[in-house]
Amino acid sequence: MAGRRRLTSGLSGIAAIGLLAAGAWVVSPAIAQAKKAHAKKAHAKSSVHIPGARLEPLSFATLEGWKDDDQAAAFGSFLNSCRAILNSTPAMHRKKPLLGKLYKACQQAQLIKQPNGDGARKFFEDNFQPVRILPPTRSYGFYTGTDGFFTGYYEPQVEGSRLPSEEYKYPLYRVPGKVAGKKSTVFGHLDRKDIVEGALAGKGLEICWVKSPIDAFFAQIQGSTRVKLDTGDMLRLNYIASNGKPYTPVGRILIDDGIISAEDMTMDKIREYMETNPEKGAELRLKNRSYVFFRETSLKPHEEPIGAQGVPLTTGRSIAVDPSIHVYGTPIWIDAKLPIKGDAPIDAFQHLVIAQDTGSAIRGPARADIYFGYGGDAPSVAGRIKQFGRFVMLVPKGIAVEEPTVATVPTPKSRPPKASAENDGAEKKDDSNSPSLPAVATRPKT
């Protein structure tokens, strides 16, 4: 039967060969069993599984608010991520099949020219399937729940000068040039108290000086800042390294001491306490031994900061996630009641966002930090967010969703944040599932 050869790719080592009978192949039991095992292995490689969480496949019709959202805004943010995703390699796709499917989705996205809301919505519906992530009961500080947990972050703006003076006397430091971009931890033998008391003074590492030690502290927490210089110029700084000491949330200390309740805790409350109690505020800041170093960027005033994926963040459309679990560029649907307009968590936040950043305390399968931009009320809004809600991942079509599981796993070990490529740092090999553009470091935030 010339011309009727059957290839058995992927089944090398199988001694049995098919027998031709009545013009069709009859597969031996050994081949059938091998094929079944091969198919099962291929399925496992092309499926999404998140340890410690239950996965619930949904339809877009069940996403409340989906048709009312501006998916064109999310599409623009997704295209930013595609710049990094399209730099990924076939080897990375074989290792992370979800990344490979995102690559294909990005190829499709590039064919769409400035879609309107309906066109962008159709793109996401045609290329993705919504899957809700339901972690087991988990505590985030003083907040415990069984759903997604959301906080907010922003880019501060402070006043500063290139030269120290009585008005500007609190430095923001760079790292030594010989280790810039090469190490995520510098001056590990010093903690915040040492540096605040002048351990680095006179070493030529000062980028600039700012008016307030509180401004310097919050810039470090957020991981980036705009500095309006006394010359009128705008300086843009981004996180590059830390001293490697553990990050201690000062808000938790204020709650523990009964100064501010967990329900009332916001960044504004922390700042108000520090401003009202200068000496106690200084003592409080020293309890966070972690100290952050910055690098100058070439960003223009109108440009957004760069996230861990190496692409610009988008106000209200970018989130920080756990890179040991999620692939950068993955769309996430958030449905939660948040305190956007005031202190009460009553405002519906039903938006499609893109995973593009991380932070040292952003850990867990349904944990996200929402980027709220800079200026205006962004600091106040971001500082109020600490709510639970629905965390729905849009999984690229072609990736199977594994059977629900409720197995629990230990919380990933905290690590100093640093630049991400296919893995995210030496301390934890293969800690990131995502490619990123080069020369980008993450923030230490929350």
Is the model's pLDDT at 13 over the cut of 60? Answer: no
Percentage of the chain beyond pLDDT 70 is 79
- Inside any domain, residue 19: no
Q: What's the rounded mean pLDDT across residues 415-428?
A: 30
Closest listed residue to residue 215, CA positions, set 228, 198, 232, 200: 228
CA-based radius of gyration for the chain: 25
238-247, 266-275, 402-411: least confidently modelled range: 402-411
- 3-state helix/strand/coil string of 388-424: EEEEEEEEECCCEECCCCCCCCCCCCCCCCCCCCCCC
Range of the domain at 331: 54-153+305-400
Q: Are residues 145 and 161 in the same domain?
A: no
Task: Could you list the beta-strand ranges (E) of 128-233.
Answer: 128-134, 138-140, 143-145, 148-155, 157-161, 170-173, 206-210, 224-229
What is the model's pLDDT at position 113?
Answer: 78
The contacts of residue 340 (CB under 8 Å, 6+ apart) are: 347, 349, 381
Please tell me which residue, 79 or 22, carries the higher pLDDT value: 79
Helix, strand, coil percent content, the chain, rounded in steps of 5: 25, 25, 45
Question: How many C-beta atoms surround the C-beta of residue 199 within 10 A?
Answer: 14
Q: Are residues 133 and 230 in the same domain?
A: no
- Considering the domain boundaries, does residue 39 fall inside one? no
Residue 17 has pLDDT above 50, yes or no: no
Write down the pLDDT at residue 10. 37
406 has pLDDT over 70? no
Last residue of a domain, one of 257, 273, 296: 296
Residues 177 and 149 placed together within one structural domain of the fold: no
- Residue 353 pLDDT grade (very low, low, confident, very high; cuts 50, 70, 90): very high
Among residues 123, 205, 439, which one has the least CA distance to residue 307? 439
Residue 300 identity: K
Kindly state the average pLDDT of the residues 29-54. Answer: 59
Report whether pLDDT(412) > 50.
no
> How many domains is the chain built from?
2
Whole-angstrom CA distances from 377 to 270, 380, 383 are 16, 5, 10
Strands (E), 308-398: 318-320, 331-338, 347-357, 367-374, 386-396
pLDDT at 275 over 50: yes
Domain match, 193 and 226 both:
yes
Among the listed ranges 89-103, 385-399, 412-426, which one has the minimum average pLDDT value? 412-426
Q: Is pLDDT at 375 greater than 70 in this prediction?
A: yes
Residue at 435 is within a domain: no
pLDDT digits (tens, 9 = 90+) for 247-258: 999 999 999 999
Structure tokens at 108: 């499709």
| Same-domain pairing of 281 and 345 | no
Confidence band for 260, pLDDT divided at 50, 70 and 90: very high
Band (181; pLDDT cuts 50, 70, 90): confident
Is residue 173 within 8 A of residue 203, CB to CB? The reply is: no
Q: Do residues 357 and 254 share a domain?
A: no
Task: Give the angle subtended at the CA of 111 by the CAs of 83 and 420, to the nearest 5°.
Answer: 15
Domain end marker among 365, 381, 400: 400
Q: What is the CATH number of the domain that holds 247?
A: 2.40.240.50
In a domain, 41, yes or no: no
Q: Measure the N-to-C terminal CA separation of the chain; round to a whole number of Å.
A: 69
State the CATH number of the domain containing residue 66: 2.40.40.10
CA 355 from chain centre, in angstroms, equals 5
Which region among 45-59, 75-89, 277-291 has the lowest average model confidence (pLDDT)?
45-59
Paired tokens of 186: 């510098």
* 163/285 same-domain check: yes
Give Cα separations from 48 to 75, 98, 132, 149, 397 (angstroms): 23, 8, 12, 21, 11
Are 187 and 225 in a shared domain?
Answer: yes
Domain boundary among 270, 296, 322: 296
Per-residue pLDDT, averaged over 254-273, amounts to 94
8 Å CB contact between 313 and 72: no
Q: What is the pLDDT of residue 444?
A: 54
What local confidence, expressed as pLDDT, does residue 51 receive?
83
Q: Verify that 175 and 261 share a domain, yes or no.
A: yes
Residues 246 and 373 in one domain: no
Residue 20 lies in a domain: no
CA atoms within a 13 Å half-sphere pointing along the CA-CB vector of 32: 6
Domain for residue 181, yes or no? yes
Looking at the structure, tell me whether residues 292 and 164 fall in a common domain.
Answer: yes
Mean residue pLDDT of the chain comes to 83
Under 8 Å between Cβ of 269 and 213: no
Residues 148 and 166 in one domain: no
For residue 420, is it within any domain? Answer: no
Would 337 be classed as within a structural domain? Answer: yes
pLDDT value of position 48: 84
Span 335-362, average pLDDT: 95
Mean pLDDT of 225-247: 95
pLDDT for position 441: 43
